[in-house]
Structure 1
Amino acid sequence: MLIVNLTTTHSRLDLCSITLYSLLNQSMLPDKIRVWISEESYLSDHGIKEIPDYLLSLNRIKDIIEFVYTKNTGPYRKIFPALKTPLRIVDVLVYADDDVVYHREWLNSLFTTFKKYDTTNIVAARVRLKRKNIFNKYKSYVAYPICFNEQTLLNDYIITGLGGAILMKKHINSNGIYMEDYVDIAPKTDDLWISEIISLSKTNVTTCPKAIECLTEINHSNNALSANNNPVLSGGYLSLFLKKIILKISSYLGVNKTNNDIAAKKINNYFHGIL
């Protein structure tokens, strides 16, 4: 069974409906689309007590959407509850974000690449490559380039949920599936935590640039984690120019500390100790 998983919050249900509509119009349809939601509040999510009719009515197009209530762990609900459910050895999971229009060939692109590597590798659309500077120190998150060519990676990558990823339960170490320390260490930076769990599981990640072409991010300011985790520049032309120069230099040196950088250090210390 091929199951697409995502999560959403009370204030983002309208955005999620657009994403779900795009998933229902894939050239290759999944067997199920599971939206993991919660009744209780957590972070900026006030909880979802009732599923709106406009979401339920999407099943008239194709009756494959399931809304599943689970413990509220924020963005981590898009994959970990799915990994904890009873799965057959052949079941394939995909996780996606709730504020993206996925074009018709998105899922097919991921699945084709997944099969190309005989399901041994996790395949992800949008991956940042971690890079070091001349001082052998990691640059800041914003200085990590997005990979636009197909390659297989064992470490030094960050899978971004925006593009989605396809995997099986066998790819993730069981300890990584059931630990929930991310609630205290990195509650909003799920991409970083999930990427670290995959790396520690010694599973290769193959990038799928074709799938990047199948994405349209919905621009909004509705509790977008990317806006909170990355720097936002503002000001006049000269001020903005100078800020960009400073940002580029500080990012190269690894001293530009966004929420992503702070969380990355906490995650590294948690799994590897202070180096």
Structure 2
Amino acid sequence: MFYAIESIGRGELKPSRIILWIDEKDSRAPRPPELERLVARGLEILVTSNYGPHTKYYPYVKLHNRHEVAMVTADDDVIYPIDWLSRLDSAHRARPDVIRAMKARRVEMLGAGFAPYSTWNAVTSAEPSSLNLALGVSGVIYPPAFLDELNAADEAFRVVSPKADDIWLHAVAVRSGFLVAQVSAAPEGYPTVRGTFETSLMKTNVLDNQNDAQIQATYTAADIESLAKVSA
């Protein structure tokens, strides 16, 4: 299950929709009391096809042909601080043309391609760059125009990056000219729900080095050339 939070980008912070996306199988399961209380407070639970990690953003992207408000994504197995959403919203208002993340990695180039993903270091600056790859686990806010780009890209991620949404989202950002910046210079990581690590994508993609194959499949020669120019 994944959360997609749509946040109004002007005036007082007031999320217009908070959506929990679940697949058909999960929709038939009994809801725990904690979830029912959130529904009573305005949480929407919508059923979608299972797009793996892309479920956190893609169903919402397809709800609208044209987007007018920003979207924040979050995982359901992470415990976020109380000021998390307000800080993302403030960062977006300051630079509404930039993708803002609480945590990012710096893309490292090697020769005519990419260095291994395991060597990509944490970003230690709040400056926007096409070499910054937003990590969805700590939360990201996306400008409306970028959501339109994702809509146009459709389901191409299924072939090249089915289990690495961060990589696909970065590739689309590179192609459409969107820069990524951390909310603050220091990257922020948050505690995860106990017992979720063993089945997490971090274990599969990062520790088992499966990100590298998806990187090679996702980025085009034009993407690599564009990033290499910035990296030089």
Q: Normalising TM by the smaller chain, what interval?
A: 0.7 to 0.9
The residue number in structure 1 matching 2:175 is 200
- RMSD, matched Cα: 3.0
User: What code does the residue aligned with 2:98 have?
Assistant: N
Of 20, 33, 36, which aligns to 2:18?
33
Structure 2 CA distance for aligned equivalents of residues 122 and 136 of structure 1: 26
Q: Distance in 2 between matches of 1:138 and 1:92?
A: 30
- Among candidates 203, 210, 219, match of residue 259 of structure 1: 210
C-alpha change, 1:108 and 1:167, in structure 2 (3 Å) is same
What residue identity is the alignment partner of 1:103? P
Between structure 1 and structure 2, the one with the greater Rg is 1
Q: Secondary structure at the match of 2:75?
A: coil
2 CA distance for matches of 1:167 and 1:137? 27
1:227 aligned partner: 203
Structure 1 residue 229: deviation in Å?
0.9
Check whether the contact 1:97–1:162 (CA below 8 A) recurs between aligned residues. Answer: yes
Kindly state the Cα deviation for residue 122 of structure 1 after the two structures are TM-superposed: 1.6
Matched with 1:76 is: 54
Structure 1 distance, partners of 2:193, 2:186, is 16
Paired with 2:84 and 2:189, the residues of 1 have a C-alpha distance of 5
> Which whole-Å CA distance do the structure 2 matches of 1:87 and 1:211 have between them?
35
C-alpha distance in 2 between matches for 1:213 and 1:272 = 27
In structure 2, the partner of 1:44 is: none
Paired residues in the alignment total 216
Residues 113 and 221 of structure 1: CA distance in aligned 2, closer, same or farther (over 3 Å): closer
Question: Structure 1 counterpart of 2:215, which letter?
Answer: A
What are the residue-to-residue correspondences of 1:73-112 with 2, within 5 Å?
73-86=51-64, 90-112=68-90
* Alpha-carbon separation, structure 2, partners of 1:51 and 1:222: 24
Q: How does 1:146-161 map to 2 (within 5 A)?
A: 146-153=122-129, 155-161=130-136
Query: What is the CA distance between 1:210 and its match in structure 2?
Result: 7.0
Match for residue 142 of structure 1?
118
Which sections of structure 2, spanning at least 5 residues, go unmatched? 6-12, 225-232
* 1:238 corresponding residue in structure 2: none
> Does the 8 A contact of 1:103 with 1:214 survive in 2?
no
Runs of 5+ unmatched residues, structure 1: 1-6, 9-15, 21-27, 41-46, 233-257
TM-score relative to the length of structure 2: 0.79
Distance in 1, Cα, partners of 2:66 & 2:115: 41
Q: Structure 1 residues 157 and 209, CA, compared in 2 at 3 Å: closer, same or farther? A: same
> Using a 3 Å threshold, how does the CA distance of structure 1 residues 183 and 214 change in structure 2: closer, same or farther?
closer
Cα distance change, pair 143–211 in 1 and its aligned pair in 2 (3 A): closer
Quote the offset at 1:107 in angstroms: 1.0
Aligned mate of 1:66, from 39, 44, 47: 44
1:121: which partner in 2?
Answer: 98
CA distance in 2, matches of 1:171, 1:89: 9
Which residue number corresponds to residue 8 of structure 2?
none
- CA displacement 1:72-97 (0-9 Å, x = unmatched): 21111111111121377542210111
CA deviation profile, 1:147-176 (whole Å, cap 9, x unmatched): 1321111x2232111111112331245465
Question: Structure 2 vs 1, CA of residues 57 and 210 (structure 1 numbering), >3 Å: closer, same or farther?
Answer: farther
Task: Give the secondary-structure state (helix, strand or coil) at the position aligned to 2:50.
Answer: coil
Q: Distance in 2 between matches of 1:260 and 1:131?
A: 14
| TM-score (normalised: structure 1) | 0.68
Could you tell me how far 1:225 is from its partner in structure 2? 0.6
| Secondary structure, counterpart of 1:72 in structure 2 | coil
Aligned-pair identity in percent equals: 21
- Quick one: structure 1 residues 123 and 263, their matched pair in 2 at CA, closer, same or farther if it must change by over 3 Å? same
